[in-house]
Structure formats: C-alpha cells, structure tokens
C-alpha cells in the first residue's frame, strides 16, 4: 500500500483550491459562455444543436478518461509523484488544447478539440480529488470538502470575469482562460508534497478493466452515493443552458449575454460561498451529512421550477440565488460523503474517479435529452425534468449510511485496504489451524 506524504493543511488546502479552480475555469467557462459564442459564430441558427453535440461528446470522453486517469494516477511510479505528474500534465496539455479551440472554424474541429480538453483536464481532476482521500484526516474532510465546494463557483466566475475583459467571441478569451488553467496546475504542484506509487506487478488487460467495476450489491453505500451525485448533478447541469436561455427567452443580445451570465454567477457564488463553508464545518460538528444533501436536492428542484416558469429576469436572478444555496450545501458535503464510503483507500484515485463519472455523465445525458425536451415544451419542460431528478437525488441519499454507520447491514462498504484483507486472511487461517 502506498502511503502518501502529508502536506500540511496550510499548504494542502490552497493547493486543492487552486487546482480545482483552474479545472473549473478551463471547463465551465467554455460551457457557460465561450462555446455558445464560438458555435453561434460558426453554426448560426444551428448553434443549440451543435452545442449539444459538442458537450455531449466531450462529456462521454470525460466519462471514459476520468476513471482511467484515476487508475493511472494510483499506479504511477515516476519519481515526480503519482498525483504531481497528472495535475501538471493535465493542466499544461489541456491549456494548449484550449488555445487551439480559440482558432476553430468548424463544428467538427470544436468537437475534436473539446474532447481533448475534457480528456486532459480529467487527468488533473482525478489526481486532485484523490488527494482528499490521501492526505486529509477523516475528521477534517467535511470542512475541507466545503472549501473545495467553493471552487465550482469560483472557477467559472473567475473565468467569466476574465473572458469578459476581451471582445466577445475573440480567440483572446480562450487564451486567457488557458493561461489561468496552466498557472493553477503549476502552483498546485509547487505547494504539494507527493511520492510515486510503490512498484507493483503489471496487470493483464482483463484484470485492469475489471478494477473499474465495483459491484453495487457488494458495496451498496458506494452505489447509492454514486446515484445521488448523478441525479443532483443533473439538476445543476441546467446552468449550461443559461446563455441560450437568456438569448432565446428574454432576447438578451449577444453583446450583453456575457455580462448577464456573469451577474448570475456573482449572485450564485456569494450564496454558494457562505452555504458551502457553513455546511461543511457544521456537518463535521454535528456528525451528519444526509440532511444537507436532502436540503440541496429539494432547493435545486424549487429553483428549477421557478426558472421553468420565470416571467422575467428578476425571477431568474432569484432562482439562481436559490441554486447557489443548494449547490453550496451539496458540494460541501458530497465529496466527504463519497470518500467515506470508498471500498478501498489504496485505490482512492480510481474509486473516486468512478464516483466522478456521476459528474461527467450528466454533461452528456442532459445535452442529449435537452433538444427533445426543448422541442416538447421549451425551457419549462427542460428545467421541470431536471427538477424531478433533483428530488430523486434527495430521496436516494436516504439509502446511504450516515457517519459511523458504514458497517451496518445496509452500508457494508467501510474503506478496506488490501493490507487489511491480508491480515484478516492470516487470522482466519490461524483460527482454522
């Protein structure tokens, strides 16, 4: 078993925040604004359909590469370090792909380059998330998770503010985002302590692939945690359509849509920041996680219903504020809950990456079903459908064991290492003897 060196929390927390902010700047700024502008310029009236194709294929790539990246990170034996290597590689190579996207002139080019961006930055994301399991003490994970939850708003907010400093649709917007993402990866690596994985016997291809299957019947807590993240993340995927929503329902001009999306993000991030930090530390104090997730799912559903039938921008602003509160509560607790039910601490990178599929899959599912829902009932149908998923996520968390109950009949997935299994087997043999 590889034991990672402990980075002091004074360095670890800033490293986690910087790396995650860089990741979200790189991925969510394009999703919330830059891809809309680029595709509107390239595809015109077909931009909405093109957006679904681009983000759908990109999410599928993320779906595949995130667990692979986590597994490779767990097994990287290079002296630079198993997490260091992929945080830096993902950030720098992904930034180069972003710069290339700024010069794309056809939809197929956007599709291909966006897939590269997703694949590369998911190496960074998988390695960064694994650090929470590697180096954060169990009793501090709620608070740290709450701080990390801020990054999902700070990232795109920073990216949108930066992008709006340049002419709408210009390649300089993409270059600026790329530079910030690259710098974030470098800073995170400088702050972190890391070591390579211990050398292990090479696995066969079949054995390698089997490691990505975690039986939900054998590990029900892990399975339910995955489903909760998938359903509630689907609800929050509504923000990907904010720019189109403003352009098409409220006739906001292309010149003004960037500033309006930024205003909505400001409202969201302020409320998210307060809720995320408060919920994370409160969860550690009361030793409870599920009530916060239920709250997040219900609030998301309420906000989406408001958005679905919003008669004015004022209601959109209010709904965005509610979504910010729900997002803060969810992302403050969800990561800590998922780390707690991992089947194996030794394979934290790979197992968390499988959990992260629940982040990536909504980015594919929602764009693929959105055109059908928009055709049936416009944005009211789309946001209403996502609200139902939020409620289902809130209900599903009731099946996840609470803190301290991981070993009960319904949640028998407390983290077990291979080291533990070896000792258990030896003990059983001695008993039989």
CATH number of domain containing 152: 1.20.1250.20
Model confidence at 227: pLDDT above 50? yes
165 Cβ contact list (under 8 Å, min separation 6): 176
**pLDDT exceeds cutoff 50 at 60:** yes
Alpha-carbon span 257 to 241, nearest angstrom: 12
Q: Residue 258: which pLDDT band, with cuts at 50, 70 and 90?
A: confident
Residues constituting the chain? 433
Nearest to 149 by CA among 269, 238, 263, 241: 269
Tell me: pLDDT of 419 over 70: no
d(CA 173, CA 203): 43
Between CA 142 and CA 377 the distance in angstroms is: 40
Per the structure block, which two tokens stand in for 270?
């302020």
Q: Is the pLDDT of residue 382 over 50?
A: yes
In a domain, 62, yes or no: yes
3-state SS track over 267-288: HHHHHHHHHHHHHHHHHHHHCC
3 in a structural domain? no
Q: Tell me what pLDDT residue 285 has.
A: 84
Q: Are 151 and 20 in contact (CB under 8 A)?
A: yes
Q: How confident is the model at residue 214 (pLDDT cuts 50, 70, 90)?
A: low
pLDDT of 430 above 60? no
pLDDT for res 40:
87
- Percent of the chain topping pLDDT 70: 84
409 has pLDDT over 50: no
Residue 394 within a domain: yes
Arithmetic mean of pLDDT, 352-380: 82
pLDDT at residue 1 tops 60: no
Asked whether residue 324 is domain-assigned, the answer is yes
Is 64 part of a structural domain of the chain? yes
Nearest by Cα to 95 from 74, 73, 69, 123: 123
Domain that holds residue 148: 9-193+207-428
Cα(154)–Cα(117) distance, integer angstroms: 20
Mean pLDDT of the chain: 81
- Please check the confidence at residue 349 and state whether its pLDDT lies above 70: no
Residue with more model confidence, 299 or 81: 299
pLDDT exceeds cutoff 60 at 300: yes
Which range of 159-168, 207-216, 284-293, 390-399 scores highest in mean pLDDT? It is 390-399
Query: Does the pLDDT at position 432 exceed 50?
Result: no
Predicted TM-score (pTM) of this structure: 0.67
Distance CA 300, CA 324 (A): 9
**Domain contains 200:** no
* pLDDT of the residue at 416: 40
What average pLDDT score do residues 18-47 get? 89
Q: Is 221 exposed, middle or buried (0-12, 13-18, 19+ CB in 10 A)?
A: buried
Q: How many domains would you assign to the chain?
A: 1
- Is 433 among the domain residues? no
- Residue 154 domain flag: yes
């Amino acid at each position: 078993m590889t034991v990672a060196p402990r980075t002091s929390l004074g360095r670890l927390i800033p490293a986690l925040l910087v790396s995650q902010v860089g990741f979200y700047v790189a991925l969510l700024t394009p999703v919330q604004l830059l891809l809309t502008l680029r595709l509107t310029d390239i595809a015109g009236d077909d931009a909405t359909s093109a957006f679904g194709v681009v983000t759908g294929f990109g999410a599928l790539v993320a779906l595949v590469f995130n667990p692979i990246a986590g597994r490779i990170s767990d097994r990287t034996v290079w002296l630079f370090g198993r997490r260091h290597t992929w945080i830096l590689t993902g950030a720098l190579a992904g930034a180069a792909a972003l710069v290339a996207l700024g010069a794309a002139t056809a939809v197929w080019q956007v599709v291909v380059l966006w897939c590269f961006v997703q694949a590369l930055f998911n190496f960074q994301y998988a390695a960064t998330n694994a650090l929470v399991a590697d180096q954060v003490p169990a009793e501090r994970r709620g608070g740290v998770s709450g701080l990390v939850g801020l990054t999902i708003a700070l990232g795109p907010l920073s990216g949108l503010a930066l992008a709006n400093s340049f002419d709408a649709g210009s390649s300089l917007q993409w270059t600026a985002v790329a530079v910030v993402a690259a710098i974030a990866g470098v800073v995170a690596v400088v702050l972190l302590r890391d070591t390579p994985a211990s050398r292990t016997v090479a696995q066969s291809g079949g054995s390698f692939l089997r490691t990505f299957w975690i039986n939900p019947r054998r590990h029900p807590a892990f399975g339910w945690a995955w489903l909760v993240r998938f359903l509630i993340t689907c609800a929050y995927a509504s923000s990907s359509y904010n720019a189109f929503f403003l352009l098409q329902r409220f006739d906001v001009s292309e010149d003004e849509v960037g500033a309006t999306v930024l205003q909505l993000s400001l409202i969201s991030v302020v409320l998210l920041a307060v809720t995320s930090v408060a919920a994370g530390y409160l969860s550690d104090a009361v030793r409870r996680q599920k009530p916060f997730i239920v709250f997040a799912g219900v609030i998301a559903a309420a906000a989406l219903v408001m958005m679905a039938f919003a008669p004015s921008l004022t209601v959109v602003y209010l709904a965005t504020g509610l979504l910010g509160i729900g997002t803060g509560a969810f992302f403050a607790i969800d990561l800590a809950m998922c780390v707690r039910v991992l089947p194996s601490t030794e394979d934290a990178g790979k197992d968390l990456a499988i959990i992260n599929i629940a982040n990536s899959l909504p980015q594919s599912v929602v764009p693929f079903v959105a055109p059908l829902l928009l055709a049936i009932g416009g944005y009211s149908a789309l946001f209403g459908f996502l609200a139902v998923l939020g409620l289902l996520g809130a209900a599903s968390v009731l099946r996840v064991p609470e803190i301290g109950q991981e070993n009960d009949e319904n949640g028998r997935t407390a983290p077990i290492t291979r080291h533990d299994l070896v000792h258990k087997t030896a003990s059983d043999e001695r008993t039989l003897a």
